[in-house]
Structure 1
Amino acid sequence: MAICDRRKTINRGALEENILAIIDASEAKDSQDAHDDRIAFLEAVRATSIVSESRTQPSYKICQAVFKILRIEKSLELIITSYQLLNELDKCFPRVYLSGIDQLESTNKHMTELVVVKEAWSPFIFSLEIASSERGAAKDAEGLLDSSGFLILIQYLADVADENTFQSCDTKSLGKMLLFQYLVNILEGDFIPRKTMYEETTNWILLRESLLNMLLVSRKINFKSLMKDCLTIMCKLYQICIGFSDDVVCPDNSVSKSTKKCDVAVEITSLEVGKNTSIAVRKLLNMIMELDTCKNKADAQGCTTRADGVRTPLVEIILDELTYNNDILQPFLQVFDDPKLKLEVVEQYFWKYISKPSVRTRRSNGSADDTTFIGALKCFSNVTSTRSIIKKIGTEEAQLLLVHGFQAYLSVPSRQYPDEDNSHGNPESRSSSVIDICKNMISAFKSLRTAAEHMEILLCSKEALFMAATILSVNS
């Protein structure tokens, strides 16, 4: 048996050497033959690791070679092929995953274990010390990204997100966008199983050791600057590629028209890649907000240490950016579609400008509204308070926040509602709450119309009001 295993190891090693020889032969060359060799290399890796029935996990060197093609290649075919291959490899050979464990039959219990393959290849390097002997010296880590490299990539994409720059995109820009998408996929694949396990065990160490947390706590990056760039990329690319606003991308300068600076293949690809890059940024922001929530919980339980560092919660950075840059409010609310997190942003935005409710005491006869979306809606119940709010926020901004908050509220599963503790598992209470919020929504817009007589009702506002009226008529 040992001889068999040894033979398999030798055969696998010989096969990998042959595959690597293909890419080594084209090293430092930029010709059609070199291009063909690299395509052959990627196909060989896919054949042995993905397609083959007896597929084998590729070595560190092979993964690094594929990743290097994604990072430095100028050919659109090679960039896309290497990107797709890296994602396929990550799905087939995950670095972090959950594994079910069956306990003794007598207990009839099923437990979950977090499996972390420490020796697996990763595109990130957060230390110059590399433990694995297969990886060799630190100089062999060429092509991997540390925190500063990730920051530089984000800054580059923020420049690409400019409308004029995007119109003259090239394969380098597409390669950078696909590189970012792949890195977010890696961060997500590492974070999601850890978060799932954390929710079961409340073991903060699981998330502390996540790639996402290690990336963000690095002193090599300015977290606020990084997040502001991310918001710029997400909103601007969404505007360019989706075109949800009336004045986005002038038809005469549309990126769909062929230009001398951008060949047809790159131009056709750029819109899809740009849209997916905006979505990838959204995924990254979602994960960071979830990490912040978990960290706050761990901190309240005394599980964090000084080594975890202190940084501004992402929600606060988002609120500041939305406050001082109204141009991104609408695209942000449009593209940031996680209802639970969006509702949190809308609530905090409102309560940043609405006077906080009085604190209820033992002698209080009534119950004060808490700082939730329902509480914010009730602040629009009379004209006086509504005028006070729109002086600080603006009528159009108030409409957008009300509409998206209303939609998010209806979309969040009832078990996740932070403001309905008494309605968990109670369908009647949940239904009553929805009816109340619909009534408050209609009342809020009546107050808005009275407070701002010349206000133009946005199309999304009309749709939300129609939805609220429909819900009320069905439940009447």
Structure 2
Amino acid sequence: MESSSRSRSHAGSIEENTMAIIDAAGAKDTQDTNDDRMAFLEAVRASSIVPETGTAPTNKMFEAIFQILKVGKSLELIMASYQLLNELDKCFPRAYLSNVDKSNSSCTALLEPVVVKEAWSPFSLGSDATCGERQTANKNSGGPLDSSGFHLLIQNIVKVTDEMNSQALNIKSLGNMFLFQYLVNVLEGDFLPRNSMYKETMNWTLLRESLINMLLGSRKISYKGFIKDCLSLISRLCHVYAGFSHDPSCEENSAGKQHEKCDTAVAIAFLEVKNCTCISVQKLLVLIMELDMSKKKADMQGHTTRADGVRTPLVEIIIDELTYNEDILSPFLQVFNEPKWKLEIALQYFWKYISKPSVRTRRSNGPTEDATFGGLLKYFSNNTNTKNVIRKIGTEVAQLLLAHAFQAYLSLSSEQQSVKGISNSKEDASISSLEICKNMISAFNSFRGKDGHVEILPLGKEALFTAATILSTK
């Protein structure tokens, strides 16, 4: 009793200083105010994270921490608030699966979804925000983001990576990337337990009320425009490291001017933050594709309604973008390394240009039995088939897609061997990896057969070497 009363009084004293933190957000940044904010973050950590039975921060305290991350102008403060928010979300999740002992019926513990509806959220995703809510959000620049604010955040990061100069690498740019990473973590933490439980119960309401479903269904954003900006971001981030690391302007500016345009600490942090932002964009895309797959099941079972709306599956949008903007094809495949969906994207890209049977029934609208990686390689064993596809998409694109699909297939095969009973792809278990490797080499021979002067790309050579090595060892 005594310890709990102490913790409550300690939390109360921290909350008393929260308003000062919020009110000081718009004030001029000084060392004293930054020290006060850092002390506030450390106090929250000491009361909520360090003790074994720490108390959850109040919504007002959460808002103050989020505000420091969102409008902070110190790299130290931004990183500290980012780490604290992620740790708090792990200790006090908004959605999770809880073990419930059903002793009356059996001795086994069952999982039950728990959603803490009164918990603070960095998102404000109501159906239609009122004018008053919008005005409040504008006044408080550290408040929760709606769907348009999240989209604008992505666009701002795209602009920074697009400029590709040292002036763009400032604290604000880094803060936006940390903010984006945190928001994606929140979307993931809310979606994964809901989707896991949906697979068990087929209760679509769990996913209908998920943050990511409400974000994508908002009228405040253009869904396809949102996805295009995500793809643009992931392809640009692939080039930033090479472009920045060879940019001598940073050294010239820091050596020649007192007012440094390129701060060394920011430059070093940017390299790591860029990689983490790449991972977060990929994580966001994977969440959307998993949501699409679950929604498709709900549609087939008649669990969705008109209110759920109709969205083009993300995989189809990605394939369209990669088709009409080949400049982002290689960067996207290089960065996007989630094997299950990478293989799916490569397969659907190919089958989009492969002739379909002239007669199809309603039941044949889904993937055919040959729409697997093994079926694709067998298709390429025919020179006529190869010639038809190459004429439509080009040899280089075909090599890139085939090599990346092979990498994804091997990754999935490795996962399935380490975790028995898990199947992450549509591949027929009867097709052995040896047969896949033989057909892989045969497919590249078909490329050569069409044109004896075809140059095999470095990635294609790596795939062929891997296939030949597997064959030689087995």
Interval of TM-score (by shorter of Structure 1 and Structure 2): 0.7 to 0.9
Letter in 2 for 1:349: Y
In structure 2, relative to structure 1, the CA distance for the partners of 1:420 and 1:14 (3 Å cut) is: closer
- Per-residue deviation, 1:302: 0.4
Match of 1:110 in 2: 109
* Residues 343, 405 of structure 1: 8 Å contact kept: yes
CA–CA distance in 1 between the matches of 2:108 and 2:11? Answer: 41
Match of 1:309 in 2: 309
Match of 2:14 in 1: 16
Match of 2:170 in 1: 170
In structure 1, stretches of 5+ residues that fail to align are 131-136, 362-367, 424-428
Match of 1:380 in 2: 380
CA–CA distance in 1 between the matches of 2:455 and 2:249? Answer: 29
Match of 1:365 in 2: none
Superposed counterparts of 1:292-371, under 5 Å = 292-357=292-357, 370-371=370-371
1:236 aligns with 2:236: yes
CA–CA distance in 2 between the matches of 1:184 and 1:288? Answer: 11
Letter in 1 for 2:423: Q
CA–CA distance in 1 between the matches of 2:89 and 2:449? Answer: 57
- Per-residue deviation, 1:166: 6.2
* Residues 353, 389 of structure 1: 8 Å contact kept: yes
- 3-state SS in 2 of match to 1:112: strand
Match of 2:132 in 1: none
- Per-residue deviation, 1:147: 0.7
1:62 aligns with 2:61: yes
* Residues 339, 409 of structure 1: 8 Å contact kept: yes
* Residues 70, 175 of structure 2: 8 Å contact kept: yes
- 3-state SS in 1 of match to 2:380: coil
In structure 2, relative to structure 1, the CA distance for the partners of 1:308 and 1:269 (3 Å cut) is: same
Match of 1:50 in 2: 49
* Residues 95, 115 of structure 2: 8 Å contact kept: yes
Instruction: Give the TM-score taking structure 1 as reference length.
Output: 0.87
Letter in 1 for 2:246: P
In structure 2, stretches of 5+ residues that fail to align are 130-135, 255-259, 362-367, 417-421
Identity of aligned residues (%): 59
In structure 2, relative to structure 1, the CA distance for the partners of 1:53 and 1:372 (3 Å cut) is: closer
In structure 2, relative to structure 1, the CA distance for the partners of 1:418 and 1:49 (3 Å cut) is: closer
In structure 2, relative to structure 1, the CA distance for the partners of 1:306 and 1:85 (3 Å cut) is: same
Match of 2:403 in 1: 403
CA–CA distance in 1 between the matches of 2:4 and 2:425? Answer: 57
CA displacement 1:325-358 (0-9 Å, x = unmatched): 1111111111111111111100110011111256
Letter in 2 for 1:221: I
1:416 aligns with 2:414: no
The answer to which of 394-403 and 121-130 deviates more is 121-130
1:251 aligns with 2:227: no
The answer to which of 121-130 and 318-327 deviates more is 121-130
Letter in 2 for 1:303: H
Superposed counterparts of 1:189-200, under 5 Å = 189-200=189-200
* Residues 250, 261 of structure 2: 8 Å contact kept: no
Match of 1:101 in 2: 100
Match of 2:211 in 1: 211
Match of 1:127 in 2: 126
Match of 1:474 in 2: 473
CA displacement 1:413-467 (0-9 Å, x = unmatched): 454254345x3xxxxx3xx432221111111001101212222112221121122
CA–CA distance in 2 between the matches of 1:73 and 1:463? Answer: 45
CA–CA distance in 1 between the matches of 2:270 and 2:438? Answer: 44
- 3-state SS in 2 of match to 1:127: coil
In structure 2, relative to structure 1, the CA distance for the partners of 1:307 and 1:25 (3 Å cut) is: closer
RMSD over aligned CA atoms reads 2.7
Match of 1:80 in 2: 79
- Per-residue deviation, 1:19: 3.9
CA–CA distance in 2 between the matches of 1:97 and 1:271? Answer: 33
CA–CA distance in 1 between the matches of 2:167 and 2:24? Answer: 32
Aligned residues: 448
Match of 1:183 in 2: 183
In structure 2, relative to structure 1, the CA distance for the partners of 1:369 and 1:308 (3 Å cut) is: closer
1:33 aligns with 2:37: no
In structure 2, relative to structure 1, the CA distance for the partners of 1:369 and 1:125 (3 Å cut) is: closer
Letter in 2 for 1:416: S
CA–CA distance in 2 between the matches of 1:256 and 1:334? Answer: 29
* Residues 256, 267 of structure 1: 8 Å contact kept: no
Match of 2:432 in 1: 433
- Per-residue deviation, 1:33: 1.2
Letter in 1 for 2:303: C
